[in-house]
Amino acid sequence: MTQSVVVQVGQCGNQVGCRFWDLALREHAHVNKKGLYDEALSSFFQNVDSRRSDGRGCGVGGRIQHLKARAVLVDMEEGVVNEILQGPLREVFDSTQLLTDVSGSGNNWAVGHMTYGSAYREQIVDKLRKAAEHCDCLQCFFLIHSMGGGTGSGLGTRVLSLLEEEFPEVCRIVTSIYPSAEDDVITSPYNSVLAMRELTEHADCVLPVENQSLVEIVNKIKHMSHGAKPGATIRRDSTVISGQGGLSGAEKPFDAMNNIVANLLLNMTSSARFEGSLNMDLNEIAMNLVPFPRLHYLVPSLTPLYTLADVNVPTRRLDQMFSDAFSKEHQLIRADPKHSLYLACALMVRGNVQVSDLRRNIERLKPSLPFVSWNQEGWKTGLCSVPPVGHSHSLLALANNTCVKPTFMELRERFTRLYRKKAHLHHYLNVEGMEQSFFSEAVTSLSSLIEEYHHLDATKLKLMPDAPRLCIAT
Amino acid sequence: MSVVTVQLGQCGNQVGHQLFDVICSDAHEAQRIYSCSSCERFFYRSRQGELVARAVMIDMEAKVINQSLTKAAKSGRWKYGDTSYFSQKQGSGNNWANGYCVHGPRHREVVEELVRREVERCDRLAGLMAMMSVAGGTGSGVGTYVTQCLRDIYPKSFILNHLTWPYGTGEVIVQNYNSVLTLAHLYQLSDAILVHENDTVHRICSQLLNIKHISFSDVNTVIAQQLGSVLQPALTADSHGVYSRNPLGELVSALACHPEYKLLSVSSIPQMPSSSIAYSTFSWPGLLKHLRQMLISNAKMEEGIDWQVRPLAGSERTRSLTGPSFNTSLANLLILRGKDVYSAETGSFEDPALYTSWLSSGEAFTLWKSPVPFNKYEKSATLVSNSQALLKPLDNMVGKAWNMFASRAYIHQYIKFGISEEDFLDSFTSLEQVISSYSQLC
Ligand SMILES: Nc1nc2c(ncn2[C@@H]2O[C@H](COP(=O)(O)OP(=O)(O)OP(=O)(O)O)[C@@H](O)[C@H]2O)c(=O)[nH]1
Ligand SMILES: Nc1nc2c(ncn2[C@@H]2O[C@H](COP(=O)(O)OP(=O)(O)OP(=O)(O)O)[C@@H](O)[C@H]2O)c(=O)[nH]1
Ligand SMILES: [Mg+2]
Ligand SMILES: [Mg+2]
């Protein structure tokens, strides 16, 4: 079994990361009844015996002593990390995994990327190496950050290229929280576009998540739990937005939103952690979903999101789960994959679901989903037998779909609006190492990415003839 | 004589496990001679007297092997050798190149040693059987590499590859690339390639066996039963009343008589829910009439057989893929098991119109029989066929891969591990050759 290390950078990265650790602990506590440190636990946790002086973890098979998250926490201010250290999760981290400064990056990508990136380079690499040393087969780094602020977007993407330099073989999967249109960070378009270029060049896969979509989902769930029809009770304990049963106490403002992202990560890694009749390892994600190196943005959708505790019609409910994964309401960015073009699509299923259920649903949904001509059967599936806590089954769909294009275009537009007026530019250009060309190159990179999606989109309505086959002289 | 099985990747290990289970329970219920002969083929006895499979399990991740080991041990009837497996921590990520160029070479010695140990345990080696899927990275890539190593070490032994072909709409997006690379390479190495298509087996589960929620284990049971009915002891024409000694060798010499033609398909009759068996009666003429029509109309199961298809006279025969759906055979092996087997009349399979003109039907047709019923059926028949049956699916597979290749999608993932566009082109070329050969069978 392989291990993964989570690198959480900036306020958003750390807050989302904490929800992940909380829910991961709950999930393992639920599945692991014997209290033994097993392979599944080892993928994200070390088991540390405090009596051992060398600080190394114990091997798989023994009793659980003290679980430590395989994580590196980075923030350039202290608030969030300190809160974590005072909260219920303090036990799973220790000071050697943390890196903080006091003043933050002031919502400035350049400060995070250049100033802090250079100042903390050695320390960051050191902490990453330590985390890697604790793994006997490190498969994946999960970077979590926001695009809008300074630390997550600037330093986070600096960490990304450090990962590529130091661990070229290890897969880099990035979860990026995109700002909503009315984001309170005025410079968020700059930060996001500058970060985008780094993501396009250095990540293996990026899972874009928009705060606006998270807000809408959370609101809808709240609304449903108030105005539920008699007889159809909402399960408040469903894992999707609540943290109940986990370690945390009171909910903080972003918690409900962050729980959704945490679930995305849990479901994406479940098949690598638990058994199933069709395993889907983390290195299979990029292999199957990324046909061209730069086009690695995978739109996530999670179902069930809006669970009713109505278990009377299991098959229909199961089929509904598959249909929902393609609806606009279940995407974690504001996008409509059904009306754009699929390059590839993964269905990661958990719980008591069989191949026949998969086959039936793929057959049923396929006709309504446009796929690129050379990948008409671009489906990747995984079956993990362990369902998420509180559910009988769940589905995570990852779509490599041109529907990301509008999000990127909107971002470019917001960027251009600021950039035309050179608004706030001097804050960036004052930073040592930052040059104006970074802005133009970043927007060029984004434009060419948009163009690549556009080209593919243009093939959608054309009937593409099959490539003429090789002829064999007879 | 004994067969050493090498199970590779998730599919290979899951199907392989099922095969040993089927063989063990079949042998268990039968009379002594049959049972001994079967056990000698596929098992040996440990010092403690347990039946141990003559198998080596290989995967680049540990989960599946652990599961198969445990399940076998739990059966209480047989088990895998305590040290006859090799696993790593991280799979090949559905990447043939990763399996073939990286994992295969890296673990060559360990794997060869494991196989050598099993081979040395056999009094006499009948041959090697490698089982795997073609769609993933380990079974396909490592499997191809291992087959190549085995071919080098055992140049004279029979090597049969059992391949599971993916569902058309797959679980792996790059499955057609992986399949093309695997098949093109195996075609040079293997003596014969026995194929099960997941789509076909899935349909058998749903339409014939009436299984509602089909799992991989249901699919694997069907595959294992079909394979078992081929590989279990049977009497050949010249074995003079004793069970034939070398199932692989006899299979290969019966069916793979020309290096251009190595693809074998399997079909069985009857296949029905076990609850219905008690209410059914079978007659040899009825079973064989159906099986023959399945063969010539290329129906993989008894439901939906096209009874219109019939052999054409020599002059009417066409040379085209799309022509009338008559399925021309190069060679067929018919295996009958059960009651009154000696009275079964199989002349209809010897009709020259079924075969190419350049082999006599005597050479093209082989018959094995066993009076021991198999798999609860009083009478059953299995046909292993080297015919155009796999032409269509092969052509589809290559066509889809070629379309993808035309846009160069996913190629960078292969280049990363050392497989170039040239290598792809070579594989495409050699499979187009195979397609062309099979389509010209007449
Ligand atoms: N979903 C979610 N979004 C958050 C959270 N915290 C902040 N954000 C979003 O992240 C962006 C701001 O980035 P932060 O992560 O706060 O900034 P930072 O990385 O700490 O960088 P500096 O504060 O500039 O040093 C805005 O778009 C916020 O809406 C969170 O916990 N969850
Ligand atoms: N019939 C059958 N097919 C299976 C089974 N497991 C996987 N498959 C098929 O095998 C293909 C996937 O290959 P796997 O065998 O899982 O892959 P692998 O060889 O382990 O390679 P990697 O996981 O990529 O390292 C798909 O076409 C599946 O349909 C099984 O138990 N039975
Ligand atoms: Mg901050
Ligand atoms: Mg595998």
| Residue-wise DSSP of A10-34 | HHHHHHHHHHHHHHHHHHHHHH--S
The verdict on residue A439 lying in a domain is yes
Q: Is A351 a domain residue? A: yes
Out of B6, B7, B8, B10, mutate this one to test ligand 2's pocket (max ligand atoms within 8 Å of CB): namely: B10
Is A311 contained in some domain?
yes
Alpha helices (runs of H) in A134-239, residue ranges in sequence order: 156-166, 188-202, 211-226
The domain containing residue A452 runs over which residues?
406-458
Length of chain A: 474
Task: Give the tens place of pLDDT for each residue, B19-66.
Answer: 999 999 998 887 889 999 999 999 999 999 999 999 999 999 998 999
Examine residue A465 and state whether it is found in any structural domain, yes or no: no
Rounded to 5 degrees, φ, ψ at B380 are -150, 155
Q: Both A361 and A262 in a single domain?
A: yes
Binned at pLDDT 50, 70 and 90, residue B317 comes out as low
* A109 and A221 in a common domain: yes
Mean pLDDT of chain B: 93
Distance CA A219, CA B150 (A): 61
Query: How many alpha carbons lie under 13 Å from residue A13 in its C-beta half-sphere?
Result: 32
Q: Are B229 and B23 in contact (CB under 8 A)?
A: no
Q: What is the pLDDT of residue B363?
A: 92
Strand stretches in A263-421, DSSP E:
299-303, 342-351, 379-384, 393-401
From CA B97, how far away is CA B81, in angstroms rounded?
Answer: 30
Partners of B379 in the β-ladder: B338
Counting the structural domains of chain A, the total is 2
Tens digit of pLDDT at every position of chain A (474 positions): 899 999 999 999 999 999 999 999 999 999 999 999 999 999 999 999 877 766 677 888 899 999 999 999 999 999 999 999 999 999 999 999 999 999 999 999 999 999 999 999 999 999 999 999 999 999 999 999 999 999 999 999 999 999 999 999 999 999 999 999 888 889 999 999 999 999 999 999 999 999 999 999 999 888 776 655 544 444 444 555 555 545 555 567 799 999 999 999 999 999 999 988 888 999 999 999 999 999 999 999 999 887 543 444 455 689 999 999 999 999 999 999 999 999 999 999 999 999 889 999 999 999 999 999 999 999 999 999 999 988 889 999 999 999 999 999 999 999 999 999 999 999 999 999 999 999 999 999 999 999 999 999 999 877 778 889 998 876
Q: What CA–CA distance (Å, rounded) separates A194 from A216?
A: 27
pLDDT at A92 (0 to 100): 95
The amino acid present at B162, given as its one-letter code, is: H
pLDDT at position B78 is 96
What type of residue is B40? E
The conformation of residue A312, written as its DSSP 8-state character, comes to S
**Residues of chain B with pLDDT > 90: what percent?**
83
Q: Which fold has domain B2-237?
A: Rossmann fold (3.40.50)
CATH topology of domain B265-388: 60s Ribosomal Protein L30; Chain: A; (3.30.1330)
Mean pLDDT of B271-282: 90
Q: What does the alpha-carbon distance between residue A30 and residue A425 come to, in Å, rounded to a whole number?
A: 51
The answer to whether residue A473 sits within a structural domain is no
Best of B173, B222, B405, B407 to mutate (most A CBs within 10 Å, chain A): B173
Domain range summary for chain B, segments of one domain joined by +: 2-237, 265-388, 393-439
Going by the DSSP 8-state scheme, the letter that residue B167 receives in this structure is: P
Domain of A445: which CATH number? 1.10.287.600
Same structural domain, A387 and A420? no
Partner-chain residue, chosen from B93, B405, B412, that has the shortest CB–CB distance to A284: B93
Is A144 a domain residue?
yes
Q: Could you tell me if the CB of B168 is within 6 A of ligand 2?
A: no
Do A284 and A411 reside in the same domain of the chain? no
Residue B303: predicted pLDDT: 80
How confident is the model over A203-227, as pLDDT tens digits?
Answer: 999 999 999 999 999 998 887 766 5
pLDDT digits (tens, 9 = 90+) for B365-388: 999 999 999 998 999 999 999 999
Is any Cβ of chain A less than 8 angstroms from the Cβ of B422?
no
A2, A362, A472 ranked by CB distance to B89: nearest:
A2
Q: How far apart are CA A44 and CA A135, in angstroms?
A: 9
Paired tokens of B109: 């010695």
Task: For CA atoms A308, A312, A315, A316, give the dihedral sign.
Answer: negative
- What is the rounded CA–CA span in Å between residue A474 and residue B424? 21
Q: Report the complex ipTM.
A: 0.91
What pLDDT does A328 receive?
94
Q: Is A375 on the interface with B (CB under 8 A)?
A: yes
A289 shares its domain with A396: yes
User: Residue B319 pLDDT more than 70?
Assistant: no
Domain contains A62:
yes
| Minimum CA distance residue for ligand 2 atom 3 | B11
Contact A1 B67 (CB under 8 A): no
Residue B371's pLDDT is 93
Q: State how far the Cα of A304 lies from the Cα of A348, in Å rounded to an integer.
A: 13
pLDDT at A236: 46
